[in-house]
Chains A and B, each alone.
Chain A
Amino acid sequence: MSAPGESFPQTRLSVLAAARSGDAAERGRALDLLFAAYWKPIYKYLRLKFTQAPQDAQDLTQGFFAELLERDLLSRFDPAKSRLRTYLRVCADSFALNEIKAASRQKRGADFLHVALDFSAAEEELRTQAIDPASIPSPESLEEFFEKEWIRSLFASAVAELQKLCDSRGKQKAFAMFEAYDLDGEENISYADLGAKHGLPVTDVNNQIAWARREFRRIAMEQLHALCGSEEEFTREAKTLFGETAR
């Protein structure tokens, strides 16, 4: 089972196939992957849609993943009918509605999860994004919100993986420059500024950032591939992820 902070495993099978595997270790790894990718988007989504207080939203999130395991909801997923993230969102919707109606929610722990669920960090992010959970957006905007959070989660995971890769290859400068230029997006920073800061010529800055971007995309695509139910879904999601229009 992967613990938080460990290197992201290269899953050959998609997470769905692995989750149905007879190999317990493989199944566990696949589920960790799934939960790591989805817990935050699900939490934020439930927080917004059902205007739940942070603690209630936490309970719902943990409860949903427990339900996912207990009722083996993944086995009912059909890639031909929808995307995996849409399926999970709809299942989460259904679960939350039932729980709220029952109003006698059982508090469920998250011992079965081997992924760190930093709910306070998720709350902080919601505040940073200046989204007011008290105002309920339209269904379409909620779907878009969920999609964006899913992308954010995937990209954050890919960035973390990229950082580990850079550390392991002694390319910390490349990551630092990529972070400054593409992630932090410091105002008016140029390749020349970065070159001056790191003692590199502009061409080297160019090449290293390009390398980091390529690696980031490769990692993100690998993670995406693992999270998709079929090749068709992967092709569609790749287009969603990386958009089509030029600047």
Chain B
Amino acid sequence: MKFLNDKALERLRGSGVPDLSGTRYELRELIARGGMGVVYAADDEKLNRRVALKVLDAASANPDLTQRLLREARVLAQLEHPGIVPVHDVGALPDGRVFYTMKFVEGLRLDQHVVKVDSLPERLRLFLRICDAVAFAHARGVLHRDLKPANVMVGPFGEVLVMDWGLAKVLRETSESNDTVFARFAKENPGDEETQATAVTGHGTVLGTPGYMSPEQERGETEKIDVRSDVFSLGALLKFVAAGTEGNKGQRLPRALQAICEKATAKQPELRYGSVSELASDVSRHLDGLPVLAYSENILERLVRFYKRHQIAILLITAYLVTRFLVLYFFHR
């Protein structure tokens, strides 16, 4: 057998690293390795900017996964929203592996970011930005199906980006509009329907992340997965975000917020919020000191909330009345 020297070993071991010759990109470094592919930082030599390049791991490249990666790129391309990572380009490496490039996000993962945010209202506002992006995707007929802290990036200016749409599901018609991703898919890719996507991911195949996966996802009931599955994941995400730092994990959340989390993560889809907008709306009401749909307050709680909402006005008016009373009482008895 041929003797392979150390340099040959190095080259052979690195043969999984994508060879970008012939493309406009220059490889920089590995960023992350996921279930389906590997993400590298690369430089776009034409536009002189850093991009993130996602490519199938050479060890696992096969036609099915190639189709999934292409599909992921196409789905992302249809979702233009400030909270969804934009895709720039798609192509093939010299070795035949498909890749796509997207915005290179400089920032922290959500789980790394929230530990630095002490204020609960600020963490909740961050959560609302995530909801915005997901609600937009739902309006375009796309479910994420893998929402979790590791799939949300927070940029240096607090901008939120929902990443890794590799498990995204394109629903059949969710609205009358022809502008859904499904409608475009059906027009441009006549064979590439949701059933094909299901064939790629497999009916009964369990996809998602434990702890953030809805019960119907855990059971592999892919036909029952709808927007409420993402609502479940967002509910779990809300619990995570609300807890914030490790030190807060044992602390009780405000009852209204707890009720929102419980409603969002109800085991039965019928008991959850019907949409991400409803969930976001309730969180927003909680932030504004208004009553939330998920929780019925008693009189005392209502009064406390009223006081908190109008605290300054109540204090100023009370100060005025007390002053007036004291002046009248002490100076003009």
Contacts and interface: CB of A to CB of B under 8 A. Distances in A.
The reply, when asked whether chain A contacts chain B directly with Cβ atoms under 8 A, is yes
Contacts of B16: 217, 242-243
A128 interface: yes
**Which of B4, B18, B33 has most chain A Cβ within 10 Å?**
B4
Given A160-B2, A213-B15, A242-B15, 16 more contacts: A125-B3, A129-B5, A151-B9, A160-B1, A182-B8, A206-B21, A210-B93, A210-B94, A214-B95, A221-B59, A238-B59, A243-B17, A244-B30, A246-B27, A246-B40, A247-B17
Contact of A214 (B6, B14, B96): B96
Q: Secondary structure of the A side of the interface?
A: helix
Contacts of A206: 21-22, 94
B333 interface: no
Given A243-B14, A243-B16, A183 B28 contact: no
B4 to A, nearest CB: 6
B58 interface: yes
Interface string A209-221: 0100110110001
B324 interface: no
21 contacts: A125-B3, A152-B9, A155-B4, A156-B1, A157-B1, A159-B2, A160-B1, A183-B8, A185-B11, A191-B21, A206-B21, A207-B96, A210-B94, A216-B15, A217-B16, A242-B58, A243-B13, A243-B16, A245-B17, A246-B17, A247-B17
Please provide the 4 A-B residue pairs with the shortest distance between their CB atoms, ordered closest to farther: A210-B95, A242-B16, A156-B1, A206-B94
Interface string A96-124: 00000000000000000000000001000
B261 to A, nearest CB: 35
Interface residues of A, number: 34
B252 interface: no
A242 B28 contact: no
Contacts of B188: none
Given A151-B9, A210-B94, A247 B4 contact: no
- Provide the main secondary structure of the chain B interface: mixed
Interface of A: 121, 125, 128-129, 148, 151-152, 155-157, 159-160, 179, 182-185, 191, 206-207, 210, 213-214, 216-217, 221, 238, 241-247
Contacts of B22: 206
B307 to A, nearest CB: 56
A109 to B, nearest CB: 23
B7 interface: yes
A185 B6 CA distance: 11
B35 to A, nearest CB: 12
Contacts of A125: 3
Interface in B113-163: none
Contacts of A216: 12, 15
Contact of A184 (B8, B30, B58, B61): B8
A182 B8 CA distance: 6
Interface in B6-65: 6-9, 11-19, 21-22, 27-30, 33, 40, 58-59, 61
A148 B19 CA distance: 24
Contact of B58 (A182, A183, A191, A217): A217
